[in-house]
Chain A
């Protein structure tokens, strides 16, 4: 029986019933991956109608057989064996026999050596998360110790520090960051001055915009905003760089050559950040005040001189110094956690991505917590 659909499908199965109910299935055309779906269904359909007399599969008309097609034929054989129906292949070409011979039937039946990873239930997830948090805390504290030791050693032996690297990171983290820090500082100053002026205008208290902005920027907003920007720009970069070095075995190479990876890789980054973040903070403060100046002069009819005077009067030296000390602490936190996350990377691309994200989030979290602590401490000192 010819199959009118054969040219479109690419293959054909014809069925002939012989003596005693034995069925002969003649396959022709391309028995391959592209036809696998419909071929499999048709073969199953034929198998349903077969009696225990047996099936002969005639492969004389097969023009092309690939391993997927061979798999389908072997599946047919094991299905018919499961129904206790004997099945045999006849007229297979040498090529077809070779391909079918390549397929390891035991491999098909073998269970995987590892079970599939199942998602843990809520209790397990809570437990795992808690354990992970504790482990993380221990790792961070260990790294902090190593970092402080390395920094201490660098202070006592300044010649051991890789100053070339320090300058390189100062450029990357500092000089290259000036445009974005300046821009955001300016916009922040503009927005705050503008928004507060809307309220203060009602009380004729325009002039306090200057002092409000100066205190807000210098004491809190300048350091925090700069810290967040540096965390995003440089904290992530440090984590990604060290993380990729771990994946490429570069850190192992350092260890085997007798270098301390923390001194070699982390100290220059931390020192660079220590210099650069306070400078960026001052820069951000200045641009913020400039933003306020623009609003003050253009929108509130203040003179430049008045604005600057008011700003100056609002600030004390204590505010400035404590702000710089805060930003120095932030610098160590950001660079430190960035490096630590980088050193924790094991595996490949996904792990580096995770470490980079974690570095930014952890840095921002630590910065905010430290800022609150500073606020308390400074309040009680004054």
Chain B
């Protein structure tokens, strides 16, 4: 378990996200510590995906900053940005595999771009990565030839191609059946335990949250920010905020509590 005294690997300071006149997030600050699995949770429209997109540099903050390993992600320094990008991987909601390339070509892409390794070595590393996600043998398959769960795992293999120290997951359980979803959770946990990779996961699946999270950060739409932070099991039972308790007990606002 990571200790809070470690230097944070991701720092979000006073982040405000705004699209036109809409302010989605206001003054959000939190930290992510090395080796932990942090899960960002909240109801629909609370800004989870927006926050994730700010963390990976797809959106520029309206105000505030995001620092990964001490480097501002908004930096103009090309060399720094490149090193930064090599240091983290992103798994998008549908895998975001390139449809015209085989799985092997997809996973090899970052390796070919950022290293000077010979093709045979890259091929071996690709095989290894696909093996890590239980897709051994599927090197020459095209994304359209594999199922949704397999696409996500292939996307994860690609995100891990450069052995990044941080992995971001955008709704990893979306569209998966319960068994595949649990398998993906177990994979996430074993990779975190085996490699010590810091993981930031955006999800609203309660089962996954309790399975994998070391710590959660809960966002709320009307609060435009964080309303709770900590161990999900504690928050479920001991939080004083009704919104938090309702979320963990799957109780829509306004409904009477049914006898458990």
Measured in the bound complex, the distance between the Cα atoms of B121 and A90 in whole Å is 25
Given B117, B124, B163, B193, which contacts A98 in the complex, CB threshold below 8 Å? B193
Q: Known contacts A36-B121, A37-B117, A102-B195; decide if A67 and B128 are in contact (CB<8 Å).
A: yes
Across the interface, which residues of A come within 8 angstroms of B99, CB to CB? 347-350
Contact between chains at A104 and B132 (CB < 8 Å): yes
Contact between chains at A102 and B194 (CB < 8 Å): yes
Contact between chains at B163 and A67 (CB < 8 Å): yes
Contact between chains at B115 and A36 (CB < 8 Å): yes
Contact between chains at B194 and A348 (CB < 8 Å): no
The A contact surface, by secondary structure, is helix
Q: Taking the complex as formed, is A95 at the interface, i.e. its CB lies under 8 A from any CB of chain B?
A: yes
Q: Taking the complex as formed, is A75 at the interface, i.e. its CB lies under 8 A from any CB of chain B?
A: yes
List residues of B (85-117) whose CB comes within 8 Å of A's CBs. Answer: 99-100, 104, 115-117
Nearest A residue to B196 via CB reads A95
Across the interface, which residues of B come within 8 angstroms of A114, CB to CB? 138-141
Q: Assign chain B's interface to a size class.
A: 20 to 34
Contact between chains at A107 and B127 (CB < 8 Å): yes
Across the interface, which residues of B come within 8 angstroms of A48, CB to CB? none
List residues of B (160-203) whose CB comes within 8 Å of A's CBs. Answer: 160, 162-163, 190-191, 193-196
Q: Known contacts A36-B117, A40-B121; decide if A110 and B194 are in contact (CB<8 Å).
A: no
Q: Known contacts A32-B163, A107-B127; decide if A102 and B140 are in contact (CB<8 Å).
A: no
Contact between chains at A102 and B132 (CB < 8 Å): yes
Contact between chains at B131 and A104 (CB < 8 Å): yes
List residues of B (126-149) whose CB comes within 8 Å of A's CBs. Answer: 127-132, 136-141, 143-144
Q: Known contacts A114-B141, A348-B99; decide if A108 and B196 are in contact (CB<8 Å).
A: no
Q: Known contacts A102-B195, A108-B124, A108-B128; decide if A113 and B137 are in contact (CB<8 Å).
A: yes
Contact between chains at B195 and A112 (CB < 8 Å): no
Given B115, B118, B141, B191, which contacts A113 in the complex, CB threshold below 8 Å? B141
Measured in the bound complex, the distance between the Cα atoms of B140 and A327 in whole Å is 48
Return A117 CB to nearest CB of chain B, in Å.
Answer: 7
Across the interface, which residues of A come within 8 angstroms of B100, CB to CB? 348-350
Across the interface, which residues of B come within 8 angstroms of A349, CB to CB? 99-100
Return A55 CB to nearest CB of chain B, in Å.
Answer: 21
Q: Known contacts A33-B115, A36-B115, A98-B194; decide if A103 and B132 are in contact (CB<8 Å).
A: yes
Across the interface, which residues of A come within 8 angstroms of B121, CB to CB? 36-37, 40
Q: Assign chain A's interface to a size class.
A: 20 to 34
Nearest A residue to B191 via CB reads A102
Q: Taking the complex as formed, is B125 at the interface, i.e. its CB lies under 8 A from any CB of chain A?
A: yes
Q: Taking the complex as formed, is A59 at the interface, i.e. its CB lies under 8 A from any CB of chain B?
A: no
Across the interface, which residues of B come within 8 angstroms of A32, CB to CB? 163
Contact between chains at B141 and A66 (CB < 8 Å): no
Given A34, A67, A95, which contacts B132 in the complex, CB threshold below 8 Å? A67
Q: Taking the complex as formed, is A101 at the interface, i.e. its CB lies under 8 A from any CB of chain B?
A: yes
Contact between chains at A75 and B131 (CB < 8 Å): no
Across the interface, which residues of A come within 8 angstroms of B115, CB to CB? 33-34, 36-37
Q: Known contacts A36-B115, A37-B121, A68-B125; decide if A117 and B140 are in contact (CB<8 Å).
A: yes
Nearest B residue to A247 via CB reads B99
Bits for B53-86, please: 1 = Cβ < 8 Å to A, else 0.
0000000000000000000000000000000000
Interface centre among B127, B160, B190 (most CB of A within 10 A): B127
Across the interface, which residues of B come within 8 angstroms of A301, CB to CB? none
Across the interface, which residues of B come within 8 angstroms of A124, CB to CB? none
Q: Taking the complex as formed, is A127 at the interface, i.e. its CB lies under 8 A from any CB of chain B?
A: no
Across the interface, which residues of A come within 8 angstroms of B140, CB to CB? 112-117
Q: Known contacts A37-B121, A67-B195, A350-B99; decide if A112 and B139 are in contact (CB<8 Å).
A: yes
Q: Taking the complex as formed, is A106 at the interface, i.e. its CB lies under 8 A from any CB of chain B?
A: yes
Contact between chains at B163 and A33 (CB < 8 Å): yes
Contact between chains at B128 and A71 (CB < 8 Å): yes
Across the interface, which residues of B come within 8 angstroms of A98, CB to CB? 193-195
Return B74 CB to nearest CB of chain A, in Å.
Answer: 25
Return B134 CB to nearest CB of chain A, in Å.
Answer: 8
Contact between chains at B193 and A110 (CB < 8 Å): no
Across the interface, which residues of A come within 8 angstroms of B194, CB to CB? 98-99, 101-102
Across the interface, which residues of B come within 8 angstroms of A113, CB to CB? 137-138, 140-141
Measured in the bound complex, the distance between the Cα atoms of B124 and A40 in whole Å is 13
Q: Known contacts A110-B137, A112-B139, A350-B100; decide if A103 and B116 are in contact (CB<8 Å).
A: no
Measured in the bound complex, the distance between the Cα atoms of B114 and A32 in whole Å is 14
Contact between chains at B195 and A66 (CB < 8 Å): yes
Contact between chains at B162 and A33 (CB < 8 Å): yes
Interface residues of B (CB under 8 A from A): 99-100, 104, 115-118, 121, 124-125, 127-132, 136-141, 143-144, 160, 162-163, 190-191, 193-196
Interface residues of A (CB under 8 A from B): 32-34, 36-37, 40, 66-68, 71, 75, 95, 98-99, 101-104, 106-108, 110-117, 347-350
6 extra A-B contacts, CB within 8 A, seeds A33-B115, A71-B125: A36-B117, A37-B115, A98-B195, A107-B127, A107-B128, A117-B140
